[in-house]
Amino acid sequence: MSIESVTRLVRTLRRNLAGMTRSLYKGSDYCIKPGYRSRLENEHHDDTGFRDEWQREVYVYAAELMQRERLASVIDIGCGSGFKLVSLLGEFETIGVEVPPAYDLLRSTYPERTWFHWTEMPKPGVSADLVMASDVIEHFPDPGDLIAMIQAIPSRYVVLSTPERDLIRGKADFGPPENVAHCREWNSDEFRRYASLHFDVIDHAITNREQGTQLVLCRPR
């Protein structure tokens, strides 16, 4: 068996193991404390009217990572209006992933850039040095769907951000989230544990205390 075949086999086994682990954690709400109530029928969030009012520092973090590690390409899942991706990471090769109406806006506003509809991903042959999803995972009834997509995209690094529940709602909060577009929110310990089920976490930080944003930097397994 060739080295390439062994590598593919190991990656497949790891993805299958991650899927089994996800199933085990469904009953405890994805590493979230017992008693927490998720929202399973959330409203769609239309980000087309926003520029860099939220998560700007996540994109700055990603840009600094790419410069430091000499990375060349980034895939941004749930890139919204595309303003932060283009303005802060525009020097690199970018791919943005969205659903309508944002997807249609992206194609008309930045026709020179590459945009994929959510249903096109993961796309065979498409890879990037960095895959990021900034405040996206909290919108998924099953966050494992987003994790599986990210794992299927060959990359060197993964950046995920999401609201830090204790900062924005307090330690006594048991959900569902106040934001009706959110299904669930994690505190720092919970989110690090959940991310660690699927990736090797190499950094975890509060990037914006006022907005309550936390970020993990990971390596795919």
What is the pLDDT confidence band of residue 54, given thresholds at 50, 70 and 90? confident
Mean pLDDT on 194-200: 97
Integer Cα distance of 9 and 28 in angstroms: 30
- Does 217 have pLDDT greater than 90? yes
- Both structure tokens of 153: 């995209």
Mean pLDDT on 99-115: 97
- Predicted model pTM: 0.86
- Does 74 have pLDDT greater than 60? yes
CATH of the domain at 73: 3.40.50.150
Integer Cα distance of 214 and 67 in angstroms: 21
Integer Cα distance of 195 and 205 in angstroms: 13
Least confident span in 45-49, 121-125, 147-151? 45-49
Mean pLDDT on 177-206: 97
Enclosing domain of residue 176:
3-219
Q: Running DSSP on this structure, what letter comes out for residue 53?
A: S
pLDDT reported for residue 14: 53
In 3D, which of 159, 97, 165, 103 has the Cα closest to residue 133?
A: 159
The tally of domains found in the chain comes to 1
Integer Cα distance of 22 and 156 in angstroms: 22
Are 138 and 162 within 8 A, CB to CB?
yes
